[in-house]
Structure 1
């Protein structure tokens, strides 16, 4: 059976600045992200993890190369089409939750749909709410929720519109170990039971152990990958990557 590709990069290069100040964040990266799988992007600090995710999520544009979401090449789309793509086909989960403090949990979850002028599919909405366990917290505002509950609201918001891909940038970075485990189990369940495609940037081997595949970056290049990872295997691989990098003077 052929696995569908949700997103891919071909010869992706991203550089900032010019001349002696030029910094290459991504250097000729080609990688495919399979649909219906949980993929982690890992690497040392400054390896290009977040830049790669931002290019895939149409939050940043390449200096060279191509990025595709499904069959659509992002570089060929105008600003309006890119805005629609981010709104309708991509979900986001951020480390800092990014909830609107004056809105209830339910209003935060439905906000992207409201902005798009779309009504939620009630059956899907109920399924998402029960999956994240927020049924009794929908009327609460963010300051009445724990960090883990706020991140569950953010995850539900990302899922509410049934996007093609959810990009999660260090989604457990601000959470304690118990809340982190809850969020990671939910993301795993979203892939296994809801058929979601999730791409997560993380530095945490424990978080990466929940995924199906890890793409390792170093110095802006894809240097390795791992299938069916465990936290111990990831920790060993990351130590090897760090050992290969030149020490800073």
Structure 2
């Protein structure tokens, strides 16, 4: 008899997470008591219609926004209890970020953009890890180029490499392929998945694209600020079926 598979450890979780905006009759409850776990060494996609709370959930998990109520624990630490200085240090040293806008510094080369988080934190660059990340994103011949000399896909791959070079506990990616064509999207998504499979990274990705979400180990679905479903080992087809059922 095959042994029962062991569930992966949890790298981040939320309990009773609530986020509201506004007051009185204009109050909007963006998150409405969410309990969710994100697994270490896995890629989890967050999906849902516009206004479902998916980006708000990611921002609260990443310490970019403070929850109104509930708790968020990332890599063993309760971030709701952190001061702004502690949160800044957490984001700088233990979290990685990839956004739809590449957020590269235009005056820096690709190599300098990649190492920027380490330079700001005054941490040494692990050259072996840097080389491994650069090789994984296929940017070895573009390191001396500035963002204006790179395609959109190459710029986003620089952003991915920057997110990974500090060996963060979690990488949070918010619509990372939203500004890319299908070919560049495939390159970036392939790299994010390889960062999990080959480098042991943990990734949480917000996306509206079933094809993008299909690279994940697990998809969680939000609706009206609540967790309304999940799907393991998804395909684009099973994701579309799930979205139809949820709608």
| Separation in structure 1 between the aligned mates of residue 134 and residue 212 of structure 2, nearest angstrom | 23
- The one of 129, 132, 139 equivalent to 2:134 is 129
Question: 2:87 matched to which residue of 1?
Answer: 82
Report the CA distance between 1:2 and its aligned residue: 4.8
Q: What do residues 77-136 of structure 1 show as CA deviations (whole Å, max 9, x unaligned)?
A: 111111110100000000011101111000100111111111110110010011111010
Structure 2: unaligned runs, 5 residues or longer: 1-5
Report the CA distance between 1:241 and its aligned residue: 2.1
| Separation in structure 2 between the aligned mates of residue 208 and residue 216 of structure 1, nearest angstrom | 11
Structure 2 residue matching 1:93: 3-state secondary structure: strand
Report the CA distance between 1:240 and its aligned residue: 2.2
Structure 2 residue matching 1:137: 3-state secondary structure: coil
Report the CA distance between 1:70 and its aligned residue: 1.9
Question: 1:240 matched to which residue of 2?
Answer: 245
- The one of 66, 70, 73 equivalent to 2:71 is 66
| Separation in structure 2 between the aligned mates of residue 141 and residue 46 of structure 1, nearest angstrom | 35
User: What are the equivalent positions in structure 2 for 1:54-203 lying under 5 Å apart?
Assistant: 54-203=59-208
Q: By percentage of residues, which structure has more helix? A: 1
TM-score, normalisation: structure 2: 0.97
Q: What do residues 195-215 of structure 1 show as CA deviations (whole Å, max 9, x unaligned)?
A: 000000000000011000001
| Separation in structure 1 between the aligned mates of residue 75 and residue 116 of structure 2, nearest angstrom | 25
| Separation in structure 1 between the aligned mates of residue 145 and residue 38 of structure 2, nearest angstrom | 36
RMSD of equivalent CA atoms = 0.7
Structure 1 residue matching 2:60: 3-state secondary structure: helix
Question: 1:223 matched to which residue of 2?
Answer: 228
| Separation in structure 1 between the aligned mates of residue 87 and residue 182 of structure 2, nearest angstrom | 36
Report the CA distance between 1:152 and its aligned residue: 0.4
Task: Tell me which moved more, 74-83 or 43-52.
Answer: 74-83
Structure 2 residue matching 1:191: 3-state secondary structure: helix
Question: 2:209 matched to which residue of 1?
Answer: 204
| Separation in structure 2 between the aligned mates of residue 102 and residue 196 of structure 1, nearest angstrom | 29
| Separation in structure 1 between the aligned mates of residue 54 and residue 93 of structure 2, nearest angstrom | 24
TM-score, normalisation: structure 1: 0.96
| Separation in structure 1 between the aligned mates of residue 192 and residue 206 of structure 2, nearest angstrom | 13
Count of residue pairs brought into register by the alignment: 242
- The one of 14, 20, 36 equivalent to 1:31 is 36
Structure 2 residue matching 1:106: 3-state secondary structure: helix
Q: What do residues 36-86 of structure 1 show as CA deviations (whole Å, max 9, x unaligned)?
A: 000000001100000000000000011010000022111111111111101
Structure 1 residue matching 2:177: 3-state secondary structure: coil
